[in-house]
Amino acid sequence: MSSHSVNVKQDWEQYQSLKSRALSEFKQGNLEKSLDYTRVTALFAWQHHCGLWYDADLDDLLEKIGNELTGTHLQTGNEIGSSDRIVFITSAVNVGGLTRLLNQWMGFLKNDFKYRVLYITNHYTSPDNFYCTSSTFQDPQLHFYNLSCYEKYTDRIQELIKLLIKYPPQQIILFIDPDDVIAVSAIAAVKNYLKDLKRNMRVIYVNHADHAFWLGKKIIDTLVNFRREGALFSRKYRGMTSLIIPLITGINYLPSSPENYRDKDLSKPQHTISLSVGTFPKILSKGKVDYFRTITHLLEKYPNHYHFFITNPPKSDILDDYLPDNDDIKKRFIISGPFKDLSPYYRAADFLIETFPLTGYTVLVEAMTFQLPIVAFKNEKFPLFSSTANLPFYTFTASTEEEIIALSGKLIENPQLREELGKQLYQYYLQEMHPEKIYSLLKDMIREQKHRNENNELNKIKNKILKDLNHDKMINDSCYYEINESRIFNENLKPFKQLVLQSFLKKSSFSIKERIQFFSKARKRNEFSRNELYKYVVPVFLGKNYLKGLKPLKKNLRFIN
C-alpha cells in the first residue's frame, strides 16, 4: 500500500471518529458539543479530501438541532415571503474573492428588491473576525447584522432562526463556507417551520468551494456553480443539478505603465512577455507538473522572453530556493506583487500562462477582457483544479510541462496568432461573461425562484450553458479524478487544536477535563508547535474568561488549523 493510500485511509478514519462523536453528543442531548464536533468534522473533510463530497448524516443532524432550537411561539412577520425582500447570508466578510463576488451580486440585484438584508454568521471563532460595517459594501441601503463569534453556536442558530422567521424572505442566497454549521442548521429549521405554515423559502447556494466537501445539500433549492467542471462534479458526486453563472471581473481599466517593467529592456520588438497571476500556493504542490521548472525551461529556450508572476511572494530567502541559479534566467523570471491594479500588467503582457497545477478562474476572465491570448492548463488528474471546460472551443490548452512550453513558444514566435486568439477569447467573453450577461442570468434565476414559490412548478431557466450537462457519458468522461491529485494542496488541519481553541475563544459547553483531554491529544499528535504551547496552556485550563483584557495574546490566536 502506497503512502498516499495510507494517508487517505487515516484521514477517513479520523473523519469517521469525529463524525461519530458529533452524533453521539447529540443523542446525549449535548447540542453545543455536537455542533463543535460537526464543524471540525466538516472542516477536516473540506481540507483533507478523502473521497467525500457531502454527508447526509451531518445534514440531518444539523436539521434536528435546528428544529430543537426553534421556539414554538415565535413572532412571525405579516410579510412572509415578501417578494420585496432578499436575504444574503455569508460566513465572514473581508475574505477576498468570495466577499468581492457577494458585493457584485448585491450590486446587481439592489434595484430588484426594496429590502436587502445581509446576515454574517462569523462561524470562525477568532478574536480578529472582521465585522461588517456600513462602508464594507457598496449598497448604502443594505441592512446587515453580525452574529457574535464569541457566543455559542446554539445561541447564534437560535438568533438567526428568530430573525429569519420574524422577517422572512422568499429567497435566501448563501455565500457560506463548507463548515458553517450555524447557517445550515438555522435555515433547515426555518424551512421546516414555514412549511408547516404552508409557506416556502427558497435557498440558492453559491458553490465557491466546488472542489471539496461541504455541508448543506439538504437545504438547497438551487445550486449555482461558476464553472462547467463544478456543475459536472456536483451532478456526479452530489447528485445535484446546477445553474452555471460565470464569475465577472471588477478589474480597474486605468491605462498606466507597470513600474516593474521600466528597468527591463522590453520595448524592443523582439522581446515578449508572458504573465501569470495567482496566489503563491497555487503553484506549489507534490504533483508531477512543476511551475518553476516549466517556466525556467521556457526562458532557457527563448532568451529574449520575459515571464512575470504577480503573486504574494514569500521572503526572498525562501523564494530563492525555487528560482533557477542562472542569473540571466533569474533576471527574466520576475516575481513580485501583490498589486492593487492589475490592468497595466495585462496591457503590457503578450499572453497569459495560467498558474498550475491549480488555476485561477477570475484571472482567466480578466485576461479575456484585455484580449490577451492564454495558455490554458487542464489538470487531467483532478479537473476541478482547472477551468478549461468553460472553453470547449479553445485549442491552446496544455496538460503537461512539454505542452505548456510548446504552446507558449508558438505565441512567442507568432504575433498574428496572438492577436487572433485574443480576439476569439474576447468575443467569447462578450457573449458569455460580460456583466450584462451575468445580470441577465441572475434576474432569470430570481424570477424562476419567485415563479416556483408562487406556482409550485418546475420550469427550467433558459441558460444555454447548461444544455449539455445532462448526458451521462459527458459526466462520466469529465469527472474522473485521482484522489491523490486532489490532495496535493491539503491543509494541515489539526482537529484537536481546533477543539481546544473553540473551547475558550467562544462560550463553550466543554468541561475543564474535556479541554485537558483535547490538549493532551493535540500534543501527542504534534498539533501545537513549541512556541505555541505557552500561549495556550493557561487558557486551556482557565477558559475564555482568563483572556479578558489580554488583547496582545488574543491577537496571536488567529489559528484556524
Q: How many Cα atoms within 13 Å fall on the side-chain side of residue 461?
A: 24
Helix, strand or coil, per DSSP, at residue 429? helix
Q: What is the mean pLDDT of residues 407-432?
A: 94
Instruction: Specify whether 274 is located in the same domain as 389.
Output: yes
Taking residues 469-485, report their average pLDDT: 69
pLDDT at 231 over 50: yes
Q: Are residues 168 and 289 in the same domain?
A: no
The reply to whether 445 falls in a domain is no
- Tell me the average pLDDT across 448-458: 64
- The residue-averaged pLDDT of 441-451 equals 85
Which has the minimum average pLDDT: 7-16, 177-186, 266-275, 290-299?
266-275
Task: Identify the pLDDT of residue 47.
Answer: 86
Question: Residue 290 falls within a domain, yes or no?
Answer: yes
Residue 159, all three cell numbers: 438568533
Where in the sequence is the domain holding 531, given as residue range(s)?
A: 499-561
> Could you tell me what percent of the chain has a pLDDT over 90?
40
pLDDT of 125 = 62
Question: Could you tell me if 133 and 206 lie in one domain?
Answer: yes
In this structure, are 406 and 542 located in the same domain? no
Listed in sequence order, the DSSP H helices in 28-152 are 31-47, 56-69, 97-109
pLDDT at residue 561 is higher than 70: no
Q: Are residues 197 and 338 in the same domain?
A: no
pLDDT of residue 6: 63
Dihedral of the alpha carbons of 436, 441, 445, 451, in degrees to the nearest 10: 80
CA distances from 132 to 119, 120, 137, 179, 507 (A): 9, 8, 8, 20, 22
Task: Tell me the pLDDT tens digit for each residue of 340-374.
Answer: 788 899 999 999 999 998 888 888 889 999 999 99
Res. 133: pLDDT tops 70? no
Residue environment code for 309-331, b if the CB has 16+ CB neighbours within 10 A, otherwise e: bbbeeeeeeeeeebebeeeebee
Residue 378 and residue 229 in contact, taking contact as beta carbons nearer than 8 Å: no
Q: Residue 103: pLDDT band by 50, 70, 90 thresholds?
A: confident
Arithmetic mean of pLDDT, 494-512: 87
Domain boundary among 442, 465, 493: 493
Angle at 14 between CA 8 and CA 16, to 5 degrees: 105
Q: In 390-442, where do the E strands start and end? A: 397-398
Higher-confidence position of 558 and 80? 80
Per the omega criterion (within 30 degrees of 0), is the bond before 357 cis?
Answer: yes
> Is residue 468's pLDDT more than 50?
no
User: For residue 96, what pLDDT is reported?
Assistant: 63
Q: Which residues sit opposite 273 in a β-bridge? A: 306
What's the rounded mean pLDDT across residues 41-61? 93
Residue ranges of alpha helices (H) inside 181-315 are 181-196, 228-233, 291-301
CATH of residue 305's domain is 3.40.50.2000
In a domain, 420, yes or no: yes
pLDDT greater than 70 at residue 27: yes
Same domain, 30 and 166: yes
Return the C-alpha cell found at 218. Answer: 439538504
Domains in the chain: how many in total? 3
Of 473, 493, 513, the residue at which a domain comes to its end is 493
462, 493, 524: which is the final residue of a domain? 493
Can you give the pLDDT at residue 164?
A: 93
In a domain, 446, yes or no: no
Percentage of the chain modeled with pLDDT above 70: 79
In a domain, 465, yes or no: yes
What SS3 state is found at 121?
Answer: coil
Q: How far apart are the first and last CA of the chain?
A: 28
Do 478 and 344 share a structural domain?
no
Of residues 356, 316, 362, the one with CA closest to residue 336: 316
Are residues 112 and 2 part of one domain? yes
Within-domain flag for 332: yes
Do residue 155 and residue 116 come from a single domain?
yes
Between CA 217 and CA 59 the distance in angstroms is 7
Highest mean pLDDT among 331-335, 463-467, 543-547: 331-335
Question: What φ, ψ does residue 225 adopt, rounded to 5°?
Answer: -115, 150
What the block records as the C-alpha cell of 548 is 479578558
Neighbours of 161 (CB within 10 A): 23
Highest mean pLDDT among 6-15, 16-25, 441-450: 16-25
Same domain, residue pair 468 and 522: no
Give tens-digit pLDDT for 241-291.
Answer: 999 998 887 664 444 444 444 344 444 557 899 999 988 888 886 667 899
Q: Does 442 reside within a domain?
A: no
pLDDT averaged over the chain? 82
Of 384 and 207, the structure prediction assigns the larger pLDDT to: 207
At residue 82 the predicted structure's pLDDT band, cuts being 50, 70 and 90, is low
Q: Say whether both 318 and 426 belong to one domain.
A: yes
Residue in 349, 386, 340, 341 with CA at minimum distance from that of residue 364: 386
| Residue 458 falls inside a structural domain | yes
Distances (CA, A) of 499 to 140, 170, 183, 223: 38, 36, 20, 31
pLDDT score for 259: 45
Same domain, 427 and 533: no
